[in-house]
Amino acid sequence: MQLYVTEDYRELSKKAAQVVAEQIQKKPGAIIGFATGGTPMGLYEELIGKYNQGEVDFSGITTFNLDEYVGLTREHPQSYYHFMWENLFSKVNVKKERIHFPPGIFTDAQAVCRQYEAQMDEAGGIDLQILGIGTNGHIGFNEPADTFEISTHLVDLAEETIEANARFFGDKTEVPRKAITMGVGSIMKAKSILLLASGKNKAEAVSHIYSGFVDPRVPASVLQLHPHVTLVIDKEAAQLIEEKGASTWLHSQ
Ligand code: GLP
């Protein structure tokens, strides 16, 4: 695992944008897995800046988002489709027909999950998957559980997640209780992974990525088994790794 510890959120966003831009420059037809949440917003701003400067061309990429809330249409202001459209896709030259999301509205959950997996495989697999992390260690919407869910699946959101995400909805009762998310296996199939974390409320979850134990009760711990993970985290999120004296401390800036 490559670890970059940044001074602050701005530096984190710049470093993350450099990683994503390099991937697209190296492979203009790259398949990129995108994430939502507050953490990648700075990254997306930086990418828009790079696009405006002519440094990155999004016209060849294909996108797959990690997850979507069940019950929200694409137009709903809190749907992840809407989030990505507002924060990145409408501001760069990504081709609309190459944007993929799990649906929020459907009749047959199993069928749409199977279809999403098939679409990722047919596209050739994700080259770079961007991830945030929940305070409970979730990745995508893979919540703490007794076992890992491997493929894209329907999930009941954890109470902690509903509370954490209520800030986007104004009222906790408005937060959907279910989502469709890529599974842990779908994420681990990505050729490389970029995980972002900012702030001391993420320090505990991040420290589990260095625990030496893979535990489905902290889904992000599975990343220890992936050969190409880059962590870009600010120093507050890194606090507990430093205390543990992580042996995998490869790089710090
Ligand atoms: C959501 C998303 C995750 C994200 C997490 C952290 O629940 N499904 O993909 O990583 O929240 O979000 P934030 O970056 O806002 O802390």
Handedness of CA 242, 202, 7, 210 (dihedral sign): positive
CA of 37 to the centre of ligand 1 (A): 4
Q: Is the CB of 143 under 6 A from ligand 1?
A: no
pLDDT at 248 > cutoff 50: no
Helix axes 80-87 and 41-52, enclosed angle (nearest 10): 40
3-state secondary structure of 66: coil
Helices (H), 97-231: 109-123, 159-169, 184-188, 203-207
What the block records as the tokens of 134 is: 């929940």
Closest CA to 151 of 180, 124, 176: 180
Please identify, by atom number, the ligand 1 atom nearest to the C-alpha of residue 39: 14
Give this prediction's pTM: 0.94
pLDDT of residue 170: 86
Catalytic center residues: 67, 136, 138, 143
Contacts (Cβ under 8 Å, ≥6 apart) of 109: 154, 180
Helices (H), the chain: 9-26, 41-52, 80-87, 109-123, 159-169, 184-188, 203-207, 235-244
Q: Is the CB of 36 under 6 A from ligand 1?
A: yes
| Position 123 confidence tier, pLDDT thresholds 50, 70, 90 | very high
Check if the beta carbon of residue 178 is closer than 8 Å to that of residue 70. yes
* Boundaries of every domain in the chain: 2-249
Q: Is the CB of 13 under 6 A from ligand 1?
A: no
Helix (H) or strand (E) holding 229: strand 229-234
Report pLDDT digits (tens) over 144-174. 999 999 999 999 999 999 998 999 998 899 9
CA of 206 to the centre of ligand 1 (A): 13
Residue nearest to atom 11 of ligand 1 (CA): 37
Q: Is the CB of 38 under 6 A from ligand 1?
A: yes
Closest CA to 31 of 93, 103, 119, 115: 119
The residues pairing with 250 across neighbouring beta strands, listed in sequence order, are: none
CA of 229 to the centre of ligand 1 (A): 18
Q: Are strands 67-69 and 178-181 parallel, antiparallel or unpaired?
A: antiparallel
Q: Is the CB of 220 under 6 A from ligand 1?
A: no
Q: Measured between alpha carbons, how far is 253 from 250 in angstroms, rounded to an integer?
A: 10
Check if the beta carbon of residue 110 is closer than 8 Å to that of residue 103. no
Q: Which of 129, 138, 178, when mutated, tests ligand 1's pocket best, judged by the most ligand atoms within 8 Å of its CB? A: 138
pLDDT of residue 242: 64
What the block records as the tokens of 24 is: 């697209």
Please identify, by atom number, the ligand 1 atom nearest to the C-alpha of residue 140: 9
Domain 2-249 has CATH 3.40.50.2300: no
Q: Is the CB of 127 under 6 A from ligand 1?
A: no
| Position 244 confidence tier, pLDDT thresholds 50, 70, 90 | low
